[in-house]
Structure 1
Amino acid sequence: MKEVYLQKLKKEFVPAAGCTEPASIALAAAKASETLNAVPERVEMKVSGNVFKNVMGVGIPGSNLVGLPISVALGALGGDPKAGLEVLDGINDDILELAKIFVDNGSVSVDVKPAVAKLYIECICYKGENAGRVIIQDRHTNVIMAERNGNILYQNVPETTKGNAKILDGWNFESIYDFVNTVDVADIIFIEKGISLNKSIAEEGLRGNYGLQVGKSMLLNIKKGLLSKDLMNRSIMLTAAASDARMAGCSMPVMSNCGSGNQGMSLTLPIMVAAEKLKIDEEIKLRALALGLLVSIHMKTFVGQLSALCGVLLSGAGAACGITYMLGGNMQHLNSTLKNMTGSVTGMICDGANSSCAQKISASVGAGIQSSLLAINHNCLNGMNGIIDDDVELTIRNIGRLANEGMEVTDEVILKTMLEKMKKVS
């Protein structure tokens, strides 16, 4: 499984500029414009409900603007189609002004498309009688089709999106633990970049006045003596500050995990803080980070790419497992950590990427650290508690079942509420 895990880490733990759903929309627009082979006169964008809710209230990097139409315009008029989720990295003021005019002129139309995959983005760029069409599905950079004037230029088979996603053979908690303990640390040194990137945006979040200022408010209260600068509060403060900045449209790149910047930040930063607090050497820190990432990726396989279940449950669980590992925990302690985490913030809703993400992250990071400390002290929820099973693998599957079966109606209600708000505004 060594190469499988290493390739998965390289695939999932990647840089992203701005929230990943607007970036994915901009990428689709940039690729559709490239397929058109001309500057478009108008653009049609059709997205799934889950993508729509993750773009409605989030800031777009470098624009001081919010929402889906400006993401489309920026991607179509100036995005780099080869840059992946960093598609908007390099947008200048001239492109921004053109994009604003493009949107103000009504050149961007947006529709929510029913009965499609949860992560679905279809973009059509027009100029005269010519049209370039691109579809991204299942993953934020997964182009499954590109066509010009009805002629297919590229086509790929989409990944599984319904129900519990395809589970890779050999993936399980114990196998991940064995990999982390035996892999040559030189093979995982590349994940160190994630800590430095995410620490930088956290520090920016503390300096600036971004979003709800959840992280910065904690810093002010620490200075006032109302809060202590301990492991939990510092972890929450930095992660919330990073989310404050990212959700408000800060253009600094972050290291995302499983297609989410918030999940990447809420996994790496608590592990970084714990390593500093505990004076953990570099090798153990990297092994702990690899463990946390792979645990989160494993859980995400069952939950799916987008869901009504807030994804920071998964990154919080990964961070908690990483901290338990650095505290000297064994496989039993790690099992207990994940079960304790399942008994805490599981079920917290995702109502789109917005300023409240920093608050949700705060709750999950705090719950993760508490779950780790309980596990190290041999305190663990047993299989008689709710969706928790004595078998940790069944516990993970129960979380996936909750996300895919139990919260389907929740997803519909959230989207309905958000669309009703949009109608009031318009």
Structure 2
Amino acid sequence: MDIKRHIIEILNREIKPAIGCTEPVAVALNTAYGVSILPNDSKEISKITVEVSKGIYKNGMDVGIPNTNKIGLHIAASLGASIGDPKYGLQILGNITNEELKYSEKILESCEINVKVDKDNNKPVYIKTTIENKDHVSIAITEDKHDNIVLLSIDGNEILNKRNGANKENNNDNEEQNFYNLPINTIVEEIEKLDYEDIKFLLDGMEMNMNIAKEGLDKKHGLGVGYSYNSNMKNGLISKDFVNLAYALTAAASDVRMSGYSMPVMSSSGSGNNGLTAILPLAAYKEIMKISDEDLVKALAISHIITSYVKRYIGRLSNLCGCSIAASIGSGAAIAWLLGDKNAITSTINNIIANQAGVICDGAKPSCALKLGTAASTAVQSALLAIEGITIKDFNGIVDNQVEKSIRNLAKLSGEGMKNIDDTVIEIMLNR
């Protein structure tokens, strides 16, 4: 197996800029695709029906939509329909014109927009938008990844059907699964051999995420968790140390993002919040310690790849909080590596799993800043404990002394043990 090739491919595929929470953005993008295939003389819309997976629905209910003061997937759908052009991908909501905003309001007022959960669909990421007007019906379907359009049809005639290539994709997926079956330390050793030029683009993601973190430190957005933490550091109530700085940066960025403020973030494995948690604890390390760009970029690669590794098992949209589990594990492992103890990487991962396994995802919302801050600080704390030899040495609940088994146990916990969590969370949210 060409491990290096897989690493480079995953990094290029999974590290993408996004504006706004990825789930409503994906709905807007899907709807834009659906409108884009309507004939030019027939763009007046009478009805939009959006069917989504549980994870998409849950994450789209309470989070702010960029360039509006509103929440809800129906808002995202109306914006996507008003833009009607998918060329900006996951940054589609970043540069909305006043004319598009006005047209979105008109769609909300004049069109029937229905958003519902497809409870029979087991795909974590699934969006099907049906757009109707007096003459035509278009359908757009997104599956598996937030920007992966697999089907487009107009009046029953397919314009695109990527599902026809399922066998080839399955073969590629089987090959990639072999990569995710490798020991963590083997993957880290291959990352250490990467050429700086091949992965230096990862530094752009740190700069992007630091920009949004600084916005949240300086001004109160959303819940204001990072802003408050920063104030407490300035006032001397808490120290500006590695743990607290990681908490403040990551929470501040989440405050801005979850409020719907229009700034880009670099996502990781399909999630902007995962990108914040995978990157910003390393930015805190850079603020505290001297580090070369070459070491920093390899640490970023370790963080993103191990985040991807864990999400491969727990799911792209899991009932577990991906930031508390996957991205915290990624950044914690990278910090252990930066601290010069490769043997502490697996210990760090087990420390995080022992600490945070079972943290549920109850949707994207302003209070995610609290979880992200905790995830970031736990990543740092777990690495610092690991390099001092503090780790799980024997069987410990779901934690196994073989770290890869611990990660698989997380998948079992999320799948078999917590399979009704999303249904329960959605029911609670609908009946509050």
CA contact (8 A) 1:35 1:133 kept: no
How big is the shift at 1:79? Answer: 4.6
Letter of the 1:113 counterpart: D
Gaps of 5+ in 2: 168-172
How far apart, in 1, do the equivalents of 2:178 and 2:186 lie?
Answer: 11
How big is the shift at 1:220? Answer: 1.3
SS across alignment from 2:232? helix
TM-score computed with the length of structure 2 as normaliser: 0.93
How far apart, in 1, do the equivalents of 2:193 and 2:362 lie?
Answer: 40
Q: How does 1:273-352 map to 2 (within 5 A)?
A: 273-312=284-323, 313-330=325-342, 332-352=343-363
How far apart, in 1, do the equivalents of 2:393 and 2:418 lie?
Answer: 24
Which residue in 2 is equivalent to 1:28?
A: 30
How far apart, in 2, do the equivalents of 1:90 and 1:309 lie?
Answer: 32
CA contact (8 A) 1:50 1:307 kept: yes
Letter of the 1:71 counterpart: A
Q: How does 1:259-278 map to 2 (within 5 A)?
A: 259-278=270-289
How far apart, in 1, do the equivalents of 2:327 and 2:384 lie?
Answer: 17
Q: Which moved more, 1:274-283 or 1:289-298?
A: 274-283
How far apart, in 2, do the equivalents of 1:356 and 1:106 lie?
Answer: 32
Letter of the 1:343 counterpart: A
Runs of 4+ with deviation above 6 angstroms: none
1:133 and 2:139 aligned: yes
How far apart, in 2, do the equivalents of 1:183 and 1:170 lie?
Answer: 16
CA contact (8 A) 1:80 1:88 kept: no
Over residues 184-220 of structure 1, what are the superposed CA-to-partner deviations in whole Å (9 max), with x where a residue is unaligned?
1111111111001000011111233211100001111
1:142 and 2:148 aligned: yes
Q: Which moved more, 1:373-382 or 1:97-106?
A: 97-106
CA contact (8 A) 1:79 1:88 kept: no
How far apart, in 1, do the equivalents of 2:274 and 2:424 lie?
Answer: 24
How far apart, in 2, do the equivalents of 1:257 and 1:170 lie?
Answer: 18
TM-score computed with the length of structure 1 as normaliser: 0.94
SS across alignment from 2:138? strand
Which residue in 2 is equivalent to 1:399?
A: 410
1:92 and 2:97 aligned: yes
Letter of the 2:329 counterpart: A
**What is the count of residue pairs matched by the alignment?**
416
Which residue in 1 is equivalent to 2:266?
A: 255
The percentage of aligned residue pairs carrying the same residue is: 36
Letter of the 2:179 counterpart: G
Query: Which of 107, 115, 129 pairs up with 1:123?
Result: 129
Gaps of 5+ in 1: 422-426
How far apart, in 2, do the equivalents of 1:276 and 1:228 lie?
Answer: 14
How big is the shift at 1:159? Answer: 7.8
User: Over aligned residue pairs, what C-alpha RMSD do you find?
Assistant: 1.6
How far apart, in 2, do the equivalents of 1:225 and 1:178 lie?
Answer: 41
Which residue in 1 is equivalent to 2:170?
A: none
Which residue in 2 is equivalent to 1:11?
A: 13
SS across alignment from 2:60? coil
Q: Which moved more, 1:267-276 or 1:347-356?
A: 267-276
How big is the shift at 1:352? Answer: 0.5
Query: Which of 113, 117, 127 pairs up with 2:118?
Result: 113
Query: Which of 61, 69, 72 pairs up with 1:67?
Result: 72
How far apart, in 1, do the equivalents of 2:320 and 2:160 lie?
Answer: 33
Letter of the 1:169 counterpart: N
How far apart, in 1, do the equivalents of 2:231 and 2:350 lie?
Answer: 34
How far apart, in 1, do the equivalents of 2:341 and 2:23 lie?
Answer: 36
CA contact (8 A) 2:6 2:179 kept: no
Letter of the 2:425 counterpart: I
CA contact (8 A) 2:36 2:85 kept: no
Which residue in 1 is equivalent to 2:239?
A: 228
Over residues 63-109 of structure 1, what are the superposed CA-to-partner deviations in whole Å (9 max), with x where a residue is unaligned?
12111111000001115312221122221122112212321334322
